[in-house]
């Protein structure tokens, strides 16, 4: 059951702050996504390639699909024709494959570099020094990805009740973002914050949040 009242409350809060909402719809039924779409939501985030492909084929063509999970290089080709934004680019190898598949589809694909800011080793992403080195290389044109729009950064904070730790992690990502945001006009998306920590993320400068359970309720377990 979609919480439309909660959705409208979030939109009303985000609009003055120019924060974009991505509704995390992984493992949610088509009907729930359609209901939210009919109430004005256009941006949806998915974690699994096959599920995303299936949903894209059944839902309106003007939905902006975001891939927000860990993307394997050999699966890029399945989403390259239609994906709006790949949020979890965590290696230069993956960036190269996205560029290759974008070229095959005669389009540019929007991407965010995923930066590892959390304490958990299980989370993916470039370290801040690695991301800085890659961004400097792209900026100087020594590394070229002609069919990619590198639009910004994404990060996930540690799963903790320690607010100061979460703030520290988001702040470190925001600092990196603003170093390059001032140099590239198109580098304008800082995706950080989910249901549990989006308010802190926005305080620290997030321009995009990824929210699921607040809108859809708790997800069904994947079998």
pLDDT digit string (tens) for 161-177? 999 999 999 999 999 99
Whether 97 is covered by a domain: the verdict is yes
Whether 41 is covered by a domain: the verdict is yes
User: Residue 43 — very low, low, confident or very high, per pLDDT cuts 50/70/90?
Assistant: very high
Whether 221 is covered by a domain: the verdict is no
8-12, 87-91, 139-143 — which is least confidently predicted? 139-143
Total number of domains constituting the chain = 1
Whether 223 is covered by a domain: the verdict is no
CATH of the domain at 67: 3.20.20.10
Q: Distance between CA atoms of 82 and 216, rounded to whole angstroms? A: 24
Q: Distance between CA atoms of 107 and 131, rounded to whole angstroms? A: 24
Whether 222 is covered by a domain: the verdict is no
Structure tokens at 139: 């900026």
Whether 78 is covered by a domain: the verdict is yes
27-31, 105-109, 116-120, 155-159 — which is least confidently predicted? 116-120
Q: Distance between CA atoms of 186 and 77, rounded to whole angstroms? A: 25
Name the residue range of residue 206's domain: 4-213
Whether 179 is covered by a domain: the verdict is yes
Whether 111 is covered by a domain: the verdict is yes
Task: Give the count of beta carbons closer than 10 Å to the beta carbon of residue 128.
Answer: 17
User: Residue 107 — very low, low, confident or very high, per pLDDT cuts 50/70/90?
Assistant: very high
- Express as a percent the part of the chain with pLDDT over 70: 97
Entry pTM = 0.93
């Amino acid at each position: 059951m979609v919480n439309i009242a909660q959705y409208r409350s979030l939109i009303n809060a985000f609009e003055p702050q120019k924060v974009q909402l991505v509704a995390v719809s992984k493992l949610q039924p088509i009907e729930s996504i359609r209901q939210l779409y009919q109430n004005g939501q256009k941006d949806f985030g998915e974690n699994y390639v096959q599920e995303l492909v299936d949903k894209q084929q059944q839902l309106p063509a003007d939905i902006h699909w975001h891939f927000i999970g860990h993307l394997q290089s050999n699966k890029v080709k399945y989403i390259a024709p239609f994906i709006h934004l790949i949020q979890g680019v965590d290696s230069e190898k993956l960036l190269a494959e996205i560029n290759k598949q974008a070229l095959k589809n005669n389009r540019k694909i929007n991407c965010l570099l995923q930066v590892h800011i959390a304490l958990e080793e299980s989370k993916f992403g470039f370290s801040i020094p690695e991301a800085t080195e890659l961004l400097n290389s792209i900026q100087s044109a020594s590394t070229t990805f002609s069919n990619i729009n590198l639009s910004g950064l994404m990060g996930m904070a540690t799963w903790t009740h320690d607010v100061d730790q979460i703030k520290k992690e988001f702040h470190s990502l925001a600092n990196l973002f603003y170093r390059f945001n001032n140099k590239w006009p198109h580098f304008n998306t800082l995706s950080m914050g989910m249901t549990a920590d989006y308010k802190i993320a926005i305080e620290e400068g997030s321009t995009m949040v990824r929210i699921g359970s607040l809108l859809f309720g708790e997800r069904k377990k994947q079998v």
